[in-house]
Amino acid sequence: MKAVLQRVSEASVTIDGHKVAAIQAGLLILIGIEDADTQDDILWLTQKIAKLRIFNDHDGVMNVSVQDTGGNIIVVSQFTLHASTKKGSRPSYIKAARPEVAIPLYEAFITQMGHETGKKIQTGRFGADMKVALVNDGPVTIIIDTKNKD
């Protein structure tokens, strides 16, 4: 499971001209799921994200988490995080999980993220053509791969 975390001052998701999610300060999480992902990956990743100290404290030092700030979260599925560009000019997405595997894990991730933060998690729609808008605060962008926990 791969996640791209973007600390935002605002973010939104629009589908077919309708805004389906919008937040102020918090995190926009792009999540990519592969066949090898399990509930253990979800638990590890949601705990890591909830406690990751990437928000500024009163001294302007990144020392508080989204959980500490009460920040909001939008989660957007993004299979392209598993793109392989090893050969040729066209990325391969063979590692990305098929919808029948990915959708239950995506939904479990959202539920667990809400449990970890105590917040209602806003989302895009799995498989939809989404327009994601954000103002990256910092900018702060963190990439986490559950298969590489270094």
- Please identify every residue annotated as catalytic: 78-80
Tell me the three state secondary structure of residue 95.
coil
Q: State phi, psi for 35 to the nearest 5 degrees.
A: -55, -35
Tokens 């605060």, located at residue: 137
Which tokens in the block code for residue 77? 């599925």
| Beta carbons within 10 angstroms of residue 76's beta carbon | 21
Tokens 């997405």, located at residue: 93
